[in-house]
A and B are shown apart, each in its own frame.
Chain A
Amino acid sequence: MSDVLLTIQGLSKIFGEGETRVDAVRAVDLELGHGEIVLVMGPSGSGKTTLLSMLGGLLRPTTGEILIDGVDIAALSERELPSFRATRFGFIFQDFNLIAALTTRENVEVVLNLAGVGGKMANERAEELLVALGLAERLDFDVEQLSGGEKQRVAIARAVANRPQLIFADEPTANLDSAHGAETMRLLRQLAKDEGTTVVIVSHDERLREIADRVLWLEDGQLKRLEALVRDPVCGMLVDPAKAPARLESDGETLYFCSRGCRKEYEEGSF
C-alpha cells in the first residue's frame, strides 16, 4: 500500500437505544493509501452506507476517529465540515443525484463554487472536465435530457472537479448497463492511478472487484477481508469461518455454512 491517507480507529455508530439500539458499525479499524481503490461489499443492512456516510463527513460517528492527513473529521465542527467536504471529497451516487434545475455544465460548476472557485475559472474547469468525458455536445443541456451513462459521467466530473483526495462512490454502476458500467469502472481506475485519488466504493456489483486493490466485506457492522471469507456451498453466501453457525468435515475438507438449514440441505443432498 502507498503512504496512508485515511486512518480509521475504533469507528462505531449506534442508532437508537435500549430495545431499539442498532450497532450499525462496530469498532472498525482501517487504513487507506493514496491512489488506492477499496471496494466495500456486504449484504443489505450490513452498515455499508453508514460507514460511507461517516467516512465522507456526512454522519458523525458514535465513537472513533477518522483521520485524513492527520485531521480528525469526526472532531470538526458543523461550520468546518462543509468546506472540508467541498475541497477534499468527491461523491458519486447510485441515482446520480444531479441538480435538475441546473445544466450539465452548471452541475459541475456549482461544486467548484462551493469550494470557493467562481466565475470564468469555474466555468472553464467544468467545461474542460466535461469535454474530456465526452460531453462537449451536452454542456448546456438540462441534465434530465441526458442518458444514464451521460449522467454518471457528469457525476464523475462533479466528483473530481475540485481535485479531491478521496472519492466516495455509492453503487456507481447500479443504474448503468454493462457498457456504461465498464466505462465508469475504467474512469474510476484512471482517477486512482493517474491522479492518485483514493476511491472508496460501496457496491454489490462483483465486476468492480476487477478494479479494486482491496475488497472488504462488511457484515453486522464489522469489516473483514474478503480473502478470509469462504462461500457457503449451498446458498453461496460468504461466511467468516471463525463465526460460521454450522460446519461439516467432508473428504478431509472443512465446509462452512451460513446456517444449520444450509448444512442440513447439504447433508441431505437436496440443494
Chain B
Amino acid sequence: MTALQFSSSVPLARRQLLARRGRTLAGVIGIAVALLLVLALKAIFAGMEGRLTAFIDGTGADVIVAQEGVTTMHMTQSALAADAMAAIARVPGVASAQGIIYKGAFVETGPNGRSGIVGLVGGGPVPDLVEGRPPRPGEIVLDRALANQLGVDEGAVVQVLGTRLRVSGQVEGTAAITGSFAFVARATLEQIVNAPNVVSYALVRARPGTDADELAIRINQDVTGVTASTRASFARSERSVVGDMSTDIVRAMILIGFVIGVAVAGLVAYSQTLAQQRDYGVLRALGLSARRALSLVLVQVATLVLAGFVLALGLVGLLALVLPMLSPTLVLSIRMEDVLQAASVAGAVALAAALIPVLHVVRVEPASVFRRTS
C-alpha cells in the first residue's frame, strides 16, 4: 500500500496554535526573552569591541609596533627603547613612523568631583572632532560621552594624574563601558608621566606597494625588543581582550537563555499537546499517521521558537536604538555571526522543547477516541 500524503490544505498546526492565542503569545514572549538574553549580551560585547578598537582603526597606520610581546593597548604596558624609533624608520618599506604615548588614567573634575577612566593618547592622530580643536600643550580632548558624564564642556578644566588640563574639544565613538580614549599633546603626556622621549607604540605607515604583513615581519626581524603587528592583527588582539573577559559570561548567558528557552517552549508545547490530546486521538483515528502527528508537534514548536526568535531580533534592534540614548557608553552591535549563533540556540531550544510533547503524542492511542469525555 502506498503511504498517503497529508495535504496541507488545512493549516492544522497554525490553527491549533491560534486556538489558544494567550498561551501561544505567552510562549512566544518567553522564548523571545530567553533568546534576547543571548542576543543582547553578544551585541553589547560586540559594541564594546568596536569601541575598543575605534582609535586603532582610525589611526591609518599599516603596522603598529609595541614592546616585545605586547599586542594590545588595553590591559598592558608598552615602552619602546630609546633607539627603537630610528631603527624602525630604517626598515625598508617604512614610509613614516610616529611615536605615541599611551597611559591608562582617571579624568576627574575636581577633588570630590566626578571621574571616568580613559586611555590617554599623547602624540597620535586625533579622530575627527565633533566640537572644538585638537589639543595644544596643557589641553585635552575628551569623548563626548565622557564629557557629558563629567558634566564638562569646552574650556572646562579637568585633572589627569594630578595635572590640570583644559578641555579643547570632543570626539565621538570611543566610549565603551570599559572606558574611553582621551587625547593630549605628546609633550603634555611626557610631562604628566615625567618621562621625556618615552614612546609606547610606533604607528608605522608603509611605502606604496609594500604589504603590511611583510613589513611587520621585516620590522620584527630587523628591530630588536619589539613586536610589530598589522593594524588588523593588533585590533583583533585588542578585541580578544574583551572576548577573553566575556567568553565565560557569554557562555553562561547562552546556557541560561537555552535553559529558559527550553523550559518556556517545552512547557507551552507540552501544555498545548495535553490540551489537544483528544484532537490527536481523533486525528489518529481518522487516519493521521504517527509520523504526521509528530511533524504537527514539531511544526508547532518550531513556529513558537521562530516567532520568539524574530521577536527577540526585533527587541535587540530596539535596544540598539534606545540604549545608547540612555547611556552613551553602552553600544549594541548586532553581528550576523551572533544572530546565527542565537538561531542555533533557538534551533536547539526547539528540538529539546519538542522532545516531551513528541513522546506524549507517540503514546496517544487512536482507540482512546472512544473513551467518554464526561
Instruction: Determine whether the beta carbon of A94 is less than 8 Å from that of B283.
Output: no
The CB with the most chain A CB atoms within 10 A, among B5, B285, B287, B372, is that of B287
Hey, which chain B residues are within 8 Å of A7, CB to CB? none
Instruction: Determine whether the beta carbon of B287 is less than 8 Å from that of A93.
Output: no
Verify if A52 is at the interface (C-beta below 8 Å from B).
Answer: yes
Verify if A259 is at the interface (C-beta below 8 Å from B).
Answer: no
Hey, which chain B residues are within 8 Å of A91, CB to CB? 285-286, 369
Instruction: Determine whether the beta carbon of A113 is less than 8 Å from that of B285.
Output: no
Q: How far is the CB of A192 from chain B (nearest CB, A)?
A: 20
Q: How far is the CB of A78 from chain B (nearest CB, A)?
A: 7
Once A110-B10, A113-B7, A122-B9 are accepted as A-B contacts, the answer to whether A93 and B19 lie under 8 Å apart by CB is: no
Hey, which chain B residues are within 8 Å of A243, CB to CB? none
Q: How far is the CB of A24 from chain B (nearest CB, A)?
A: 12
Hey, which chain B residues are within 8 Å of A170, CB to CB? 370
Once A52-B370, A117-B7 are accepted as A-B contacts, the answer to whether A83 and B289 lie under 8 Å apart by CB is: yes
Instruction: Determine whether the beta carbon of A100 is less than 8 Å from that of B4.
Output: no
Instruction: Determine whether the beta carbon of B369 is less than 8 Å from that of A97.
Output: yes
Residue among A58, A106, A158 making CB contact with B367, cutoff 8 Å = A58
CA distance A114 to B372 in the complex (A): 24
Verify if B373 is at the interface (C-beta below 8 Å from A).
Answer: yes
8 Å CB interface, B262-312 against A:
276, 278-279, 282-290, 292
CA distance A85 to B374 in the complex (A): 26
Verify if A111 is at the interface (C-beta below 8 Å from B).
Answer: yes
Verify if A102 is at the interface (C-beta below 8 Å from B).
Answer: yes
Q: How far is the CB of B337 from chain A (nearest CB, A)?
A: 39
Instruction: Determine whether the beta carbon of B9 is less than 8 Å from that of A111.
Output: no
Verify if A99 is at the interface (C-beta below 8 Å from B).
Answer: yes
Residue among B19, B289, B365, B369 making CB contact with A100, cutoff 8 Å = B19
Q: How far is the CB of B95 from chain A (nearest CB, A)?
A: 71
Once A53-B370, A113-B9 are accepted as A-B contacts, the answer to whether A83 and B3 lie under 8 Å apart by CB is: yes
Interface string of A69-103 (1 = CB under 8 A from B): 00000001011101111110001011101011110
Instruction: Determine whether the beta carbon of A79 is less than 8 Å from that of B282.
Output: no
Count contacts on B: residues with CB < 8 A to the other chain: 36
Interface string of B1-35 (1 = CB under 8 A from A): 11111111110100110110000000000000000
Closest to B1 in A: A80
Residue among B1, B282, B287, B365 making CB contact with A99, cutoff 8 Å = B282
Residue among A53, A80, A118 making CB contact with B8, cutoff 8 Å = A118
Instruction: Determine whether the beta carbon of A99 is less than 8 Å from that of B289.
Output: no
Instruction: Determine whether the beta carbon of A116 is less than 8 Å from that of B19.
Output: no
Instruction: Determine whether the beta carbon of B15 is less than 8 Å from that of A102.
Output: yes
Verify if A56 is at the interface (C-beta below 8 Å from B).
Answer: yes
Verify if A232 is at the interface (C-beta below 8 Å from B).
Answer: no
Hey, which chain B residues are within 8 Å of A94, CB to CB? 372
Hey, which chain B residues are within 8 Å of A79, CB to CB? 3, 289
Instruction: Determine whether the beta carbon of B7 is less than 8 Å from that of A119.
Output: yes
CA distance A56 to B281 in the complex (A): 14
Instruction: Determine whether the beta carbon of A101 is less than 8 Å from that of B1.
Output: no
Once A78-B290, A83-B287, A106-B15 are accepted as A-B contacts, the answer to whether A116 and B4 lie under 8 Å apart by CB is: yes
Instruction: Determine whether the beta carbon of A87 is less than 8 Å from that of B287.
Output: yes
Closest to B280 in A: A99
Verify if A115 is at the interface (C-beta below 8 Å from B).
Answer: yes
Instruction: Determine whether the beta carbon of B370 is less than 8 Å from that of A85.
Output: no
Verify if A187 is at the interface (C-beta below 8 Å from B).
Answer: no
* Known contacts A87-B287, A110-B283, then 18 further A-B pairs from the complex at CB < 8 Å, ordered by chain A residue: A58-B365, A82-B284, A82-B287, A83-B2, A91-B285, A91-B286, A99-B283, A101-B16, A101-B19, A102-B10, A112-B7, A114-B4, A114-B6, A114-B288, A116-B4, A118-B7, A119-B9, A170-B370
List chain A positions with a Cβ less than 8 A from chain B.
Answer: 49, 52-53, 56, 58-59, 76, 78-80, 82-87, 91, 93-95, 97, 99-102, 106, 109-119, 122-123, 158, 170
9 chain-A/chain-B pairs, Cβ below 8 angstroms: A83-B289, A85-B286, A86-B286, A93-B369, A100-B19, A101-B276, A112-B9, A113-B7, A114-B286
List chain B positions with a Cβ less than 8 A from chain A.
Answer: 1-10, 12, 15-16, 18-19, 276, 278-279, 282-290, 292, 365-367, 369-370, 372-374
